[in-house]
């Protein structure tokens, strides 16, 4: 070996070990699946509050953070480009199928999904319930558009790729990374409409943080997820998910929404009740009718912490409780439950395991 080449190789090895950078071909293979959201949004000026979400392509998101290439071998895949208030169950099924085939065919080691923040927690929970893989799947996004002052997207994307590339992330279920915090899919929710510190796990706290590109885990997520879940995307391919809707209770809430849902033939209703899953007299009457019509009802709460557990106030045998799942997450579990089970006992037992 020529002296100058030898020196170059030795210096590179030394630098890589000091900076903990692996040679390119040894870095984990991470696929970034882009779905839209504010992380791909653009405003007319850096100080303008309003903006268009879901405008940039995955290639542009990757170009904005060259340091991703020091962490992993990166590939991009544009699944869709939507604001996440427009997310649908059909997109969830496509997303889960793409992830399943990338892992099953050995095409990547970890996945980052960029996503709007409005429904990120729902997509994360759906994936957590149906992906039969131990490999990391990390959702991330941004609260500020890509060209906004103090845009948070690039740092979130970098952290998410670092987490997806880290062996410590294996077997922990689907996670989200926002503003340096790591959250378990079943546990987190959006708690601020505009601030970059927008996510929390109200009852459980984050499962870790990212520091200097390395995850520090405080604890494991709850045990029922991914490979331990009773559902698999492979069994959902030809299925239209059952129709399940959420109804909000409040002082004086009428029976109109529940009656309309019964007339429209929904298969399930989650009530986002007040307090410990309670609801108005009118809702109670219409819910009793829904149950008699064969609609599955889950009693949840609009309150951020504490969940709805068994045995408080008037809870009839014909109702299932959400546990620590938010109403929007209980809806997802009920949709999946109704693809497999048809008795209240079975669905109730399932919620007991997943809450
Ligand atoms: N509403 C848009 C969405 O959820 C933008 C919000 C965001 O991404 O932060 O995609």
**17-21, 150-154, 213-217, 239-243: least confidently modelled range:** 17-21
Domain range list for the chain? 3-228, 242-354
How many whole angstroms separate alpha carbon 137 and alpha carbon 168? 12
Checking if the pLDDT of 315 tops 80, the result is no
**17-26, 159-168, 252-261, 276-285: least confidently modelled range:** 17-26
CB-ligand 1 contact for 246 (6 Å cutoff) = no
Instruction: Tell me if 3-228 shares its fold with 242-354.
Output: yes
Q: What are φ and ψ of residue 164, in 5° steps? A: -65, -30
CA of 355 to the centre of ligand 1 (A): 27
How do residues 115-159 score in pLDDT, each as one tens digit? 999 999 999 999 999 999 999 999 999 999 999 999 999 999 999
Checking if the pLDDT of 193 tops 70, the result is yes
Q: Is 298 left (phi over 0), alpha (psi -120 to 50) or beta?
A: beta
Query: How big is the chain by its Cα radius of gyration, in Å?
Result: 22
- Find the mean pLDDT for residues 89-110: 97
The residue whose CA has the least distance to atom 8 of ligand 1 is 116
Residue 38 falls in the annotated catalytic set: yes
User: What local confidence, expressed as pLDDT, does residue 52 receive?
Assistant: 87
Tokens of 340: 């497999």
CB-ligand 1 contact for 273 (6 Å cutoff) = no
Q: Which residue has the tokens 């399940």?
A: 244
Query: Which candidate in 38, 114, 117, 140 is catalytic?
Result: 38
User: What local confidence, expressed as pLDDT, does residue 266 receive?
Assistant: 98
User: What local confidence, expressed as pLDDT, does residue 96 receive?
Assistant: 98
Q: Which residue has the tokens 């689907």?
A: 174
Q: Domain 3-228 carries which CATH code? A: 3.40.50.1170
Instruction: Enter the DSSP assignment of 336.
Output: H
**84-88, 96-100, 204-208, 219-223: least confidently modelled range:** 219-223
Q: Which CATH number fits domain 242-354: 3.40.220.10, 3.40.50.2300, 3.40.50.40, 3.40.5.50?
A: 3.40.50.40
Atom from ligand 1 closest to the CA of residue 119: 4
List, in order, residues 6 or more apart from 301 with CB less than 8 Å away.
272, 273, 274, 275, 276, 277, 307, 308, 322, 327
**17-21, 124-128, 172-176, 213-217: least confidently modelled range:** 17-21
- Find the mean pLDDT for residues 43-47: 90
Q: What percent helix, strand, coil does the chain show, rounded to 5?
A: 35, 20, 45
Percent of the chain exceeding pLDDT 90 equals: 84
Within 10 angstroms of residue 10's Cβ, the number of other Cβ atoms is 10
Residue 15 banded pLDDT, cuts 50, 70, 90: very low
Residue 49 banded pLDDT, cuts 50, 70, 90: confident
CA of 191 to the centre of ligand 1 (A): 13
Q: Strand 189-190 to strand 199-200: parallel, antiparallel, or no bridges (unpaired)?
A: antiparallel
- Find the mean pLDDT for residues 312-332: 83
Residue 311 banded pLDDT, cuts 50, 70, 90: low
Atom from ligand 1 closest to the CA of residue 120: 4
How many whole angstroms separate alpha carbon 326 and alpha carbon 242? 19
Atom from ligand 1 closest to the CA of residue 82: 10
Cα–Cα separations (whole angstroms), residue 304 to 27, 124, 149, 301, 354: 40, 18, 31, 8, 18
Average pLDDT over the chain, rounded to an integer: 92
User: What local confidence, expressed as pLDDT, does residue 48 receive?
Assistant: 87
End-to-end CA distance of the chain: 62
Checking if the pLDDT of 314 tops 70, the result is no
CA of 86 to the centre of ligand 1 (A): 10
User: What local confidence, expressed as pLDDT, does residue 23 receive?
Assistant: 81
């Amino acid at each position: 070996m020529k002296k100058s080449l030898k020196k170059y190789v030795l210096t590179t090895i030394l630098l890589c070990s000091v900076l903990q950078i692996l040679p390119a071909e040894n870095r984990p293979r991470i696929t970034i699946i882009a779905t839209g959201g504010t992380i791909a949004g653009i405003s007319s000026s850096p100080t303008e509050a309003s903006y268009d979400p879901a405008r940039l392509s995955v290639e542009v998101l990757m170009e904005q953070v060259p340091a991703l290439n020091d962490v992993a071998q990166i590939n991009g895949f544009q699944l869709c480009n939507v604001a996440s208030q427009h997310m649908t169950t059909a997109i969830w099924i496509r997303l889960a199928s793409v992830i399943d085939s990338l892992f099953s065919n050995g095409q990547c080691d970890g996945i980052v999904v960029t996503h709007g923040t409005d429904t990120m927690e729902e997509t994360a929970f759906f994936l957590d319930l149906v992906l039969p893989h131990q490999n990391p799947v990390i959702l991330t996004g941004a609260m500020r558009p890509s060209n906004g002052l103090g845009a948070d997207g690039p740092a979130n994307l970098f952290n998410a790729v670092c987490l997806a590339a880290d062996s410590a992330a294996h077997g922990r279920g689907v996670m989200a990374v926002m503003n340096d915090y790591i959250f378990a899919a079943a546990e987190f929710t959006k708690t601020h409409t505009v601030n970059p510190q927008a996510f929390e796990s109200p009852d459980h706290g984050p499962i870790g943080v990212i520091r200097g590109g390395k995850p520090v885990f405080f604890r494991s997520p709850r045990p029922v997820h991914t490979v331990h879940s009773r559902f698999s995307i492979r069994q959902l391919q030809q299925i239209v998910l059952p129709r399940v809707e959420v109804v909000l209770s409040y002082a004086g809430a009428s029976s109109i929404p529940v009656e309309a849902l019964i007339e429209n033939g929904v298969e399930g209703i989650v009530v986002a009740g007040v307090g410990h899953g309670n609801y108005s007299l009118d809702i109670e009457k219409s819910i009793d009718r829904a149950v008699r019509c064969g609609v599955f009802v889950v009693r949840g709460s609009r309150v951020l912490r504490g969940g709805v557990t068994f045995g408080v106030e008037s809870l009839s045998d014909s109702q299932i409780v959400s546990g620590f799942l938010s109403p929007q997450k209980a809806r997802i579990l009920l949709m999946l439950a109704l693809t497999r089970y048809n008795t209240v006992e079975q669905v109730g037992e399932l919620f007991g395991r997943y809450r």
